[in-house]
Structure 1
């Protein structure tokens, strides 16, 4: 992380360029002039991510690195929560299995695919999705890799495409937990399996998840956009169906990447392409495990606008989205928390805490590993006011922030 004195110097320079005094900036951020001075002189550490976003919005910055410097702000550094099954899943990922998980498992590509579909159903349907798939994932990781070694021909390629999905599930389980290197490992193995399968659909899904890994880390923007564009060329969106859905998904990945670095025109252009794909597929289409469809595309516009620091646009977009049509508890919780993030950027504490409470109700597990919730809730406890504080303290307790 950048040294606090360097951050303070950047903040002071940007504040002065904006023609703001310390009292004005402090007031707009909900803090005091002495707090701004403490940041600028290095007496206070660089604030958490939500406050960095708020400062960037106040100072009308297009790119958060104008505050944080060239070194990327790795979001995984903010996540310290660990699931109880993390050691078991980590060991399964890092192992090199020589035998299957039971005396006589069915290692046909069809059997492995059926078990993987069951894991996806648990991931999207269970309120505590990490606990749900943790019971399946170690054995599935082992057996899917054994199956790939034992099968050949078309059945082996099918098993490889399924193995890529197993790695996607592993990546999702590991997300926002230490160590971040395991998330990178699962994403890389998924892409390798998809390429070995020579399956454009599997490669497109792997590109979507690789995009997540590096976008969350603030790294390799050009590489991940190039990857999405390259794999898009392998798809045939004119065929409709899954080809069009995965083509649209990669357009959405590119839009999110551009929004992350503040390139609004490119972000909106690629979102429009994803939107056209979702409309062509119809309101009832939802990809069975990637969840691409009308509601997902609309909901990600909330994230895009928040990342572009257009909190008002994000909130207006949220009013148009019916998350009830999205058959995934974890996605409903995530997008609800993203709406809360937009309100938090506007210092609307009551709306923020209400939406965070709703996100927790939708999926306690997704909420529990939310980096935004982990950083915003303590701020709401301290600065949300008497009306907000009881609910903020309750959520802080749920997140283990009172320990």
Structure 2
């Protein structure tokens, strides 16, 4: 049902908690406030004008900077028309509507997180506010608004971008390449397997937090130590060393895939598989099949990827009669990998079948965990439905699935950022450039290096910049320039 232009403007609590909105209010920059209302609230100039009792032409002039608001009476009309909460009115220099706002026991529900230095006395600490991150695109004639995916943690989702990191994963790729082809001599000095395990776990968690430059710097030493341990250790310690080597090479392959370095990624994935088989650990063998599947897909060997993932999942299904959380997570992740590969071949039936089987595994697991570093669970399955719908050319369905994801339940930033990037691509495909830009900015806040350090993501930014309509072009250009991207 379409919203009428005369209906009151209802902006979410999350909107008034944005850092850029707060800054615009403090500067009494009504033009900027109107632009943010249009960008994040989907309101046309006409609708804003009706709400604040100004003509559409006057609103346009204020928004483009050719006119400014200076009269107190107009500030009051704007505050009333936009239904500003008291903290926003105070930031604008106006008196609050309620007398309780300034009291010591004030309600902090509408206060942005940067305005709350401590919880009110005798009241529980407020949780982070919900931010509506994925929403339908609007234009001047379509003023319908929907709330899609709710995210918590307003500090993560401010539109103010963090500075680009001074180092990038590419700075350490040559060292990583050297480590992949290095065969260090065995040593009589025993390798500390416990210390090596801590190092590999740190590398995997750092990768999942999307700190790619940091993990790239860690990997060369880890790979060499793991290889020495595999040749020097004996008995159970040697099997454990092969498990750790498989995991370390898995991380290396993942980093290289993000860098579009197909040759080195394949080498690292193959090393992971060899080490996994040497470990004689069924779970590790299944886990390594995931990275081989991704490497095959990256090389456009999609049918081989489907066969690899499906065969590994089938072996697990046969061997594991009473699966635990680790088993279900590896099994489900293999099914998801096969589904993505099937989608890339246009095989809807196989993709849907594998997705449904993964969904069953997710339901059996019953939660979104990070068992065996998979981030598998029901919401992860939904994330893959988003990706597969987008791959199959159905951007609308992809966004519908994105609406269903509880992104707060996803256990790692890498998965959250991937979901947001897929959603941004869907919006761009749907010609909703303003929403694509909004979601990209949110992804930047969650995982800056997922934006700045990935060629595929920078290509997405260039596509957005090249096709942005005039209403979005300036913001898109500013965002692109902050990343060092030009059309």
Q: Is the 8 A contact 2:283 2:327 kept in 1?
A: yes
The 1:179–1:276 alpha-carbon spacing in structure 2 relative to 1, beyond 3 Å, is closer
Q: Is the 8 A contact 2:259 2:455 kept in 1?
A: no
The 1:99–1:395 alpha-carbon spacing in structure 2 relative to 1, beyond 3 Å, is farther
Partner of 1:268: 352
Partner residue of 1:230 out of 271, 293, 311: 311
Indicate whether 1:331 and 2:415 are aligned: yes
Indicate whether 1:309 and 2:393 are aligned: yes
Written as runs of structure 1 = structure 2, the 5 A alignment for 1:219-368 is 219=301, 221-235=302-316, 236=320, 238-368=322-452
| Secondary structure at 1:84 match in 2 | helix
Written as runs of structure 1 = structure 2, the 5 A alignment for 1:2-401 is 83-98=170-185, 107-125=191-209, 127=210, 129-177=211-259, 179-219=261-301, 221-235=302-316, 236=320, 238-401=322-485
Give the deviation of 1:140 after TM superposition. 0.5
| Secondary structure at 1:116 match in 2 | helix
Q: Is the 8 A contact 2:325 2:365 kept in 1?
A: yes
Give the deviation of 1:321 after TM superposition. 0.4
| Secondary structure at 1:218 match in 2 | coil
Give the deviation of 1:284 after TM superposition. 4.8
Unaligned runs of 5+ in 1: 1-80
Figure out how many residues of one structure are paired with residues of the other and give that number.
Answer: 317
Give the deviation of 1:372 after TM superposition. 4.3
| Secondary structure at 1:367 match in 2 | helix
How far apart, in 1, do the equivalents of 2:216 and 2:477 lie?
Answer: 29
Give the deviation of 1:255 after TM superposition. 0.8
- TM-score, length basis structure 2: 0.61
User: What is the RMSD of the two structures over their aligned residues, measured on CA atoms?
Assistant: 2.2
The 1:261–1:120 alpha-carbon spacing in structure 2 relative to 1, beyond 3 Å, is same
The 1:371–1:344 alpha-carbon spacing in structure 2 relative to 1, beyond 3 Å, is farther
Q: Is the 8 A contact 1:287 1:293 kept in 2?
A: no
Pick the structure with greater CA Rg: 2
The 1:333–1:178 alpha-carbon spacing in structure 2 relative to 1, beyond 3 Å, is closer
The 1:168–1:394 alpha-carbon spacing in structure 2 relative to 1, beyond 3 Å, is farther
Give the deviation of 1:245 after TM superposition. 1.6
Q: Is the 8 A contact 2:427 2:436 kept in 1?
A: yes
How far apart, in 2, do the equivalents of 1:311 and 1:382 lie?
Answer: 19
Q: Is the 8 A contact 2:326 2:372 kept in 1?
A: no
Give the deviation of 1:226 after TM superposition. 2.0
Q: Is the 8 A contact 2:294 2:305 kept in 1?
A: no
